[in-house]
Amino acid sequence: MERRRFAQDALSEWMKTNGPDSEIVISSRIRIARNLSRHPFPMLATNQQSREVMEQLTGVARDERLESFGRFDIFILSELNELEKKVLVEKHLISPGLANESRGGALLLNDKESVSIMINEEDHLRIQCLYPGFQIKEAWTVASRIDDTFEGAVDFAFDEKLGYLTSCPTNVGTGIRASVMMHLPALVLTQQINRILSAITQVGLAVRGLYGEGSEAVGNLFQISNQITLGQSEEEIIDNLYGVARQIIEHEKAARERLMAESRVRVEDRVNRSFGILSHASIMDSKEAAQRLSDVRLGIDLGIIQDVPPCVMNELMVMTQPGFLQQVFDEVLNPEQRDIRRAELIRGQLLKSESGGV
């Protein structure tokens, strides 16, 4: 099987650099939902209509105005195998919904994998921009420019009163979802997380797991995003998320300081135990791996572990997912085999990083 470029590395190019507050904010993301006027929305479209939308939108990828965002490749979903689509989902480059779409689904992906443009998912067009660390405003600037490029080439479904029209009513209006992926182990360990999350939902924000809606928050990773797209401007949505995320960052920093001041030995023991298990285990399921990788990442950020760079933890969070794991070993694995291979891969990567191979 020819290996697509997105399957070569677990880390997308944009993930290989640190952004502001990257010890807490893993990534910032903007997603914009749009539909073409005079075309049925994807759920009502025929195969032929879906193909027409795909051809029209992929044609915009050749617009010279997109060149400033990198070289874009076009991937037709029907031409990818199931494992390749799973890898794209695990790297957050497409949604599970698009992975299951067989009628005119396509992906426009730039060379840094920081911009992924999904075609014929729930909406005709979904523009996604990803940045490392806490850079939600920077991600919005880029996403807005790409949106302007498409709007200059096609007619979007728009209502003067409601705004941009989308398949799901919760996206009507601006059509944007802004989110930050946050690593909050200290708030979990100090048992403050439930109070924090409850306060977040009261200000119009949603809390989800690593893979968005319907996913569990494993490995102390929480995705914080806006819920409201109607009745607020894009800037108001971004500013609200930015302000709340800034407060969460400060709470997590304070919780980490408290842990080290009051429970240093216990924290060091937890971190070192997880590091030891990851370095020597022969079998490891995905949930345990996520939790122990979270412990080690906290240890790196607190200076308890100094020989492993943070990017190794980010890489392992992707590499140990079922799809990428099978891609790495180039074999179909049942659940038990995946657990054995997962442990083997983690041992190898940690040994490599300690010996200066990263």
Task: Summarize the annotated binding site as residue ranges.
Answer: 27-31, 92, 126, 177-181, 208-213
- Residues 125 and 215: their CA atoms lie apart, in Å, by 23
Integer CA distances (angstroms), 247 to 24, 187, 196, 241, 253, in order: 12, 12, 10, 10, 10
Reduce the DSSP state of residue 288 to 3 states and report it: helix
Specify the pLDDT at position 181: 96
Specify the pLDDT at position 6: 84
Which of 317, 297, 318, 319 lies closest to 308 in space, CA to CA?
Answer: 297
Burial class of 185 by CB neighbour count within 10 A (0 to 12, 13 to 18, 19+): buried
Task: Summarize the annotated binding site for ATP as residue ranges.
Answer: 27-31, 92, 126, 177-181, 208-213
Which of 273, 300, 295, 285 lies closest to 334 in space, CA to CA?
Answer: 285
Are 14 and 136 in contact by the 8 Å Cβ rule? The answer is no
Specify the pLDDT at position 211: 54
Say which DSSP state 104 is in: S
- Residues 317 and 90: their CA atoms lie apart, in Å, by 9
Specify the pLDDT at position 212: 52
- Residues 117 and 31: their CA atoms lie apart, in Å, by 9
Specify the pLDDT at position 189: 95
- pTM recorded for the entire structure: 0.91
Integer CA distances (angstroms), 69 to 7, 94, 114, 153, in order: 21, 18, 9, 17
- Residues 290 and 317: their CA atoms lie apart, in Å, by 7
Query: pLDDT under 50 in the chain at which residues?
Result: 1-2, 214
Contacts of 114 (CB under 8 A, 6+ apart): 12, 13, 14, 69, 70, 129, 130, 131, 142
Give the count of beta carbons closer than 10 Å to the beta carbon of residue 167: 16
Which residue is associated with the tokens 């799973």?
86
Which of 284, 275, 279, 356 lies closest to 320 in space, CA to CA?
Answer: 284
Between the two ends of the chain, the Cα-to-Cα distance in Å is 27
Specify the pLDDT at position 17: 85
